Structure 1
Amino acid sequence: MTDPALPAYPHAHRLDLVEDLHTHRVADPYRWLEDASDPDTERWSAEQDALYAAYRARFDALGGAFATERLTARLGELLGAGFVSTPAWRGGRRFFSRRAGDQEHAVVVVAEGDDERVLLDPVALDPAGTTTLDAWQPSKEGERLAYQVSTGGTEESVLRVLDVATGEVVDGPIDRARYSPVAWLPGGEAFFYVRRLAPELLPEDERQYHRRVWLHRVGTPADQDVEVFGAGLDHTNYYGVSVSRDGRWLIVSASAGTAPRTDVWIAEIAADAAAPAFVEVAVGLDAETGAWVARDGRLYVHTDQDAPRGRLAVTDPERPGVEHWTTLLAERADAVLEDVAFTDGGDDERVPTLLLASWRRHAVSEVTTHDPATGEATGALELPGLGSISGLVTRPEGGPEVWFSYTDHTSVPAVHRFDERTRRVTLWASAPGEVPDLPDVVTRQVEATSADGTTVRAFVVARADAVDADGRPLAPAPTILYGYGGFQISLDPAYSATTLAWVEAGGVYVVANLRGGGEEGEDWHRAGMRAHKQHVFDDFHAVAELLVADGWTTTDRLACWGGSNGGLLVGAALTQRPDLFAAVVCSAPLLDMVRYQRFGLGVTWTEEYGDADDAEQLGWLLGYSPYHHVVDGTAYPATLFTVFEGDTRVDPLHARKLAAALQAATTGAPVLVRRETGVGHGGRALSRTIGLTVEQLQHVAWQTGLAAPGRRAAEPAPVVVGEEGR
């Protein structure tokens, strides 16, 4: 280690382990770090904790915006407004999630008229704050609520049912319900859901899989549930289930792991709901498809079949096959179809009067209106700004209103309502807390050219006083480049306390829309998966180079940041282009792509990355696997791995192995591991979120020069702007 103020790196012995895998000679010197319970791994991890503690102690000397107490308080203020979700209407009740600024977790609220009460509070279930609410679903009449919780970050959901009027639990617990949708039958006495088979029926390495769709009757033991779908299909399948409002139709969807293909079946629910007769809607297509029966009794299909950016088709549910589909909304060349909703007269007036469609155009949302019979465009909604919306929500009994949530880089998410009668969009529900004073920032969308000539866009957020009248930077500044690039996930404009805290202090924050994501449709996704994964890294490097070339930053003030699949992204960035970055935050990452599918949920991701047990696909993976591309004697960037011991999606072994390899190889800045227990890959308490973010920002600020010991409280780094900009 080049920093004499820090202890030496913990000793990590190197195994002389080289395997012949499909003609490839693959070294794995740190395989022993895969076993968290091995005494050597425990010793190594404890010493890494001590090393990081010594590094973290340096943060106490940071002044200004990055002083621990001040940054913690500021993030609390920026998150203080909390959030409120769109409503789920059920009869005379509406249900929604809400988190006030001082709450560790969101709660579920039920409202009747102007009266509202908290129905479900994770902190009331677990005062320690380690229990997270994974999902909830009210019955069609709003009399009961099914909900799922997990503890310690495991995401191993346990399902229960409570009575809405009394708040009492009336059913459950039902275990093995991870990632389970719930589809209530009318009357609230039974529902379809998804549950894994009992572990004793399965090989040990397959106990996370083998899901089935079951029919459960409230108040009966789960071992009496009736299996209705899934036997004989792919053991990695995830299932979706829904029941039409009138209870006549059951729709089941299936996808093998995270493959970008979805099969869909429909069944008419007879008197014996436990024995539905399924008919194919879309099976065996190389496409993602979602289907539902609307209030008008027709089957609507949202698909990217023959339309990579998405289209909407319609048919009769009694003739659901592809050959009977009629396209209602055709694919657009410039935007991705995200969601649709219909308005009508309400109650018995079921004929749609207006069709609303939400689209994503270069990551920015827009909503258009259409004739519901022909699909002809009739106008567009006036949204609050250039941001993103989520959900187009209507009442199950119909009517002229549609609700959606809106956010952008400086707008706390809020719920808006469209009323067909007035054709106006109005604010319907704001976040419950006080909206903080926000810095004066500007956002630009820039375009970079990737290695193969593809245009890649990115959002650049900077202080208004750090750019000229044309939006160009006045001087290079410490900059964070954030990316993901996978699983068709889009990085759309959104309110971020992390972004605003960084920019307020004088930095620049950049979000790259890389191939592998969903910003430009399924072709964009597939251009960054499997054999084409290197495109994602090339896109990221192209954005980084653009930021330097256009004067936003310099390589000694540029950091990259990513988590999960984004952790793989920055792992590849730091090993492929260590010259481009001064600092790295690599959170809950995938890094050993030769063995990734042997741990956690890795086997479900082979459609995204490739199968290491296949000779050709192993070649793809070895081509970029960060763990296998560490070169001795290289000056790697200052790297902070953040891992979570409760993570059941991405095993912390990935970070351990690459950290050991980098520590042995680097001639550059510190390589460190921050471990956290009691949390996992997903949701966490607010205080834990803030605590993690504080340390990640301090690491980047220290290594890019935005923070230094003793800097005055209100002073940004002098490399950012002159005195006139402070």
Structure 2
Amino acid sequence: MPTLSQACHTLLLTAGLAAASVAGAAPAKESKNVSDDPYAWLEDVTGERSLTWVKQHNAKSEAELTTTPQFKQLESDIRAILDSDAKIPGVEKIGDYYYNFWKDKQHERGLWRRTTLAEYRKDKPQWETVIDLDALNKTEGENWVWHGADCLKPKLQGEKPARCLIALSRGGADADVTREFDLTTKTWLKDGFFRPEAKGGLQWIDRDTVYVFTDFGKDASGAGSMTSSGYPRIVKEWKRATPLADAKPVYEGQPTDMYIAASHDHTKGFERDFVSRTLAFYNDELYLRGGDGKLIKIDAPNSASKSVHKQWLLLELREPYGAAGQTYAAGSLIATKFDDFMAGKRAFTTLFAPSDSTSLAGFSWTQNHLVLNVLDDVKNRLSVLTPGEGEWPRSEFTGAPTFGTLGVAAVDADDSDAVWLTATDYLTPTTLSLAQIGKRPEVLKTMPAFFDGTGNVIEQHFATSKDGTRVPYFLVRRKDLKLDGKAPTLLYGYGGFEISLTPAYSGSVGKGWLEKGGVYAVANIRGGGEYGPRWHQAALKANRHKAYEDFAAVAQDLVARKITSKEHLGIQGGSNGGLLTGNMLTQYPDLFGAVVVQVPLLDMKRYSHLLAGASWMAEYGDPDTADWEFIRTFSPYHLFNAQRDYPPVIFMTSTRDDRVHPGHARKMAAKMLEAGKDVRYYENIEGGHGGSANNAQAAHMSALAFTFLWNELSE
């Protein structure tokens, strides 16, 4: 069972502020410096003046970029890729059925549907529609976007699960509602569990009881129920057919915490309840909830990722950990029996220990095994461990592909040793296989080629950063590329929150860039997770500049290899990657010919006061303290110099982004435009932090970015 804190980390800038308005984005909190900001009015997300400004600049960008036949063709091509019926429908096993959420041209908001494994093996399975989101929107006059389903597991083998908790978001915002759905009748329960719009969730305990963590409003003393990051601060136990106001408090965190939640482990014979207190990213506490309701802390390091599966406790370490006379290295995965640990015993078995070139990309339990996924110089390797006393027996994963990025997920960890195995790279369409541990995988689905990549090749190179660190990056180029420095080249990066960038097939990148003859590069800079915690921690807070030095080094290496030159080199990044490209724009303007900045953080003085920003202070620091002295060195909004020349730039965001405030992009664009710089701006009205709420919007925004880059870099 993954812990709730792990889920928060996986979502990355995902969980955020509870909606304070129907618009889904809360007004910005005041801070002492906002009155000094002439563009602060653009933080009013849905204000008339702000939206008038947005529409005005959207129109200018549209007029420049969208009127040509080439744009319309590219948008159409990308839309066709996104809508394609030939995409692989990923499935989740619930009872006897395999469920999939699917969007295409006829179903813009999507279908939640199901089939059997026998049907799924076919080229064209027969699907049974469970929820038609477009039809629901039409009936209810809403603009719901799918946020997922949590279905109550059957207690008896073969028993069909009857109830699910469905999360729906208005327009793609992070704030959502949770409604109860009957899988047997395929109807919404009128008197079922319902969580009003906020950021938070419901988790099943049993058929008539859930954990609820959400915005409960203010108590009698006037205290709110959300953290300063805007996440749930209180978790309660809620009985069916009782008012939410009567739900029983389970745990209350501090206002300065990040996220409080709870879950029930339904594993037969190992039923347990857990409460998760996340103080900050990679800083959490996990509690076992006893039958009497008392909480017992699992006394493992806050920095460790803690997970419990059956009788085992696993710790994924981000700092060295000393126990029973041994010290385990940061980046290790260690295991012990859960009951022994709770009884005070601290003897662990090392399941993975990092080397200079390896890190743990993830792990997945099956009924009898644990599959490890390891990155070795950003290339995946799989192995199988069998739990037992002492050293766990280890073997290679039978039949695992030797190319590209590999992903492993259990089909049903309680009842099977089967896993879903995906394989992909930049030029090879994704394949999905069904693999029984110890047997060769059965290829079930293969994504078609959405672009002609036959003339291209994938390479891995290493650049040398300012402090001598070797920084890997991937390069996709034509085999016959002339090394004359003239190739239009797009460099992508992220570099934060221990997220690794590994090769993946993208029809949009292929159609919008590679097929035109462009070169595509992806930088594995510090701040990411490519080499485990050490790679991430090397670029935290005062060391943030190292991520930007790494990215600059990759850009310079591309030029040194005569792949491209400044005039033909463009960059792109979103969210934390938008902060990256914002810093490259302001700190290294002489390296690039065009910059795409998407759903970005840019005003690092205000970021912790805007929406979910306070939750990221473990990554960047607290700008309201002495930390500002180093934060100001990577705040693009403050680094901008009206007297300096900058490359052409487009800022792209979403009005409905209630995670990273659209004010970041708005204010930066306004400041640069007033100074007469070469700036474009586009804000999608829907879409949340992902930027788009349906395939049409996603295709339009991708075509805008690629068209802008090609116009600037191919001349």
| Residue 713 (structure 2) aligns with | 704
Asked if 1:165 is matched to 2:217, the reply is no
Q: Is the 8 A contact 1:301 1:313 kept in 2?
A: yes
Q: Is the 8 A contact 1:459 1:511 kept in 2?
A: yes
| Count of residue correspondences | 649
Mind listing any 5+ residue stretches in structure 1 that lack a counterpart? 1-18, 345-351, 468-472, 707-726
Question: In the alignment, what sits opposite 2:686?
Answer: 678
**Unaligned segments of structure 2, at least 5 residues:** 1-30, 120-126, 155-160, 321-328
1:13 corresponding residue in structure 2: none
CA shift, 1:515, in A, is: 1.0
**Cα distance, 1:476 vs structure 2:** 3.1
Counterparts of 1:538-557 in structure 2, within 5 Å, are: 538-557=549-568
User: 1:445 — aligned with what?
Assistant: 460
1:314 touches 1:325 (CA, 8 Å); kept in 2? yes
* Equivalent residue number for residue 152 of structure 2: 139
> Which residue of the partner structure matches residue 8 of structure 1?
none
Alignment of 1:49-64 (within 5 A): 49-56=58-65, 59-61=66-68
| Alignment correspondent of 1:404 | 421
RMSD (Å) for aligned C-alpha atoms: 3.0
Say which is worse superposed, 641-650 or 35-44, in terms of deviation.
35-44
Deviations 1:257-302 (A, max 9, x none): 4x2222212234x3xxxx533222245x2513121232xx333444
Aligned to 1:601, the other structure's residue is in SS state helix
> 1:81–1:412: 8 Å Cα contact kept in structure 2?
no
The letter for the 1-side match of 2:376 is R
Residues 316 and 331 in structure 2, CA contact (< 8 A), matched pair in contact too: no
Structure 1 residues 172 and 385 mapped into 2: Cα distance closer, same or farther (>3 Å)?
Answer: same
The code of the aligned residue for 2:276 comes to S
Distance apart, 1:635 and its partner CA: 1.9
Deviates more, 1:598-607 or 1:90-99: 90-99
Q: Is the 8 A contact 2:162 2:183 kept in 1?
A: yes
TM-score (norm. length: structure 1): 0.82
Structure 2 residue aligned with 1:517: 528
Please say if residues 315 and 324 of structure 1, whose CA atoms lie closer than 8 Å, have aligned partners that are also in contact: no
CA distance in 2, matches of 1:238, 1:528: 27
Instruction: Give the distance between the partners of 1:331 and 1:321, measured in 2 at CA.
Output: 26
TM alignment of 1:310-321, pairs within 5 A = 310-317=332-339, 319-320=341-342
Per-residue deviation at 1:496?
1.4
Distance 2:275 2:714 in 1: 53
- Cα distance in 1, alignment partners of residues 56 and 411 from structure 2: 55
Partner residue of 1:9? Answer: none
* Counterpart-to-counterpart distance in 1, 2:642 and 2:668: 13
Q: Give the equivalent residue in structure 2 for 1:175.
A: 196
Supply the distance in 2 between the matched residues of 1:39 and 1:179 (Cα, whole angstroms).
29
Q: Superposed, which structure 2 residues align to 1:171-570 within 5 Å?
A: 171-176=192-197, 178-180=199-201, 182-185=202-205, 188-199=207-218, 201-202=222-223, 206=228, 208-232=230-254, 234-239=256-261, 241-246=263-268, 248-257=271-280, 259-268=281-290, 270=291, 275-282=292-299, 285-294=301-310, 297-306=311-320, 307-317=329-339, 319-320=341-342, 323-333=345-355, 334-344=357-367, 352=368, 354-373=369-388, 374-420=391-437, 422-430=438-446, 435-440=449-454, 441-466=456-481, 473=483, 476-501=486-511, 502-570=513-581
Deviates more, 1:208-217 or 1:506-515: 208-217
**Could you tell me how far apart the structure 2 residues matched to 1:26 and 1:100 are?**
46
Q: Kindly tell me: are residues 177 and 54 of structure 1, through their superposed partners in 2, closer, same or farther at Cα, counting changes over 3 Å? A: closer
Alignment equivalent of 1:585, drawn from 583, 596, 621: 596
Shift of 1:378: 2.0
Alpha-carbon displacement from aligned partner over 1:686-714 (angstroms, at most 9, x marks no partner): 111001111111111111126xxxxxxxx
Q: Distance in 2 between matches of 1:609 and 1:497?
A: 33
How far apart are the structure 1 equivalents of 2:227 and 2:392?
49
Q: Which residue of 1 aligns with 2:323?
A: none
Q: Specify the SS of the correspondent of 1:384.
A: coil
Q: Give SS of 1:48's match.
A: helix
Superposed CA offset, 1:649-687 (max 9, x none)? 112211222112222335x6x211112212221362011
Distance 2:208 2:684 in 1: 41
2:101 is the counterpart of 1:97: yes
Counterpart in 1 of 2:92?
A: 88
Q: Do the aligned partners of 1:367 and 1:381 also contact (CA within 8 Å) in 2?
A: no
Percent identity between the aligned chains?
26
Question: Using a 3 Å threshold, how does the CA distance of structure 1 residues 222 and 405 change in structure 2: closer, same or farther?
Answer: farther
Any conservation in 2 of the 1:253–1:290 contact (CA below 8 Å)? no
Deviates more, 1:583-592 or 1:437-446: 437-446
1:649 equivalent to 2:672? Answer: no
| C-alpha distance in 2 between matches for 1:119 and 1:408 | 33
Q: Deviations over 1:167-208 (max 9, x none)?
A: 11122431255253x54335x333334323325754599593
Q: Which residue of 2 aligns with 1:71?
A: 74
Cα distance in 2 for partners of 1:322, 1:579 equals: 58
Contact 1:140 1:245 in 2 (8 A): no
2:555, 2:494 → 1: CA distance? 14
Q: Deviations over 1:359-401 (max 9, x none)?
A: 2233332211234222243223433353223442142442332
1:14 maps to which residue?
A: none
The question of whether the paired residues in 2 share the 8 Å contact of 1:561 and 1:584 is answered with yes
Alpha-carbon displacement from aligned partner over 1:292-320 (angstroms, at most 9, x marks no partner): 232xx333444435233231312233633
- Residue of 688, 694, 719 corresponding to 2:697: 688
> Structure 1 pair 610/693, CA: closer, same or farther in 2 (3 Å)?
same
Q: Distance in 1 between matches of 2:183 and 2:354?
A: 43
1:251 to 1:36, Cα distance in 2 relative to 1, 3 A: closer
> Residues 575-614 of structure 1 correspond to what in structure 2 (within 5 A)?
575-614=586-625
Aligned to 2:3: none
Q: Secondary structure at the match of 1:698?
A: helix
Alpha-carbon separation, structure 1, partners of 2:151 and 2:603: 41
Alignment of 1:107-126 (within 5 A): 107-112=111-116, 114=118, 116-126=127-137
Q: Give me the whole-angstrom Cα distance separating, in 2, the residues matched to 1:330 and 1:415.
A: 26
Deviations 1:407-432 (A, max 9, x none): 32234444322213x5212223456x
Residues of 2 paired with 1:83 and 1:276: CA distance? 46
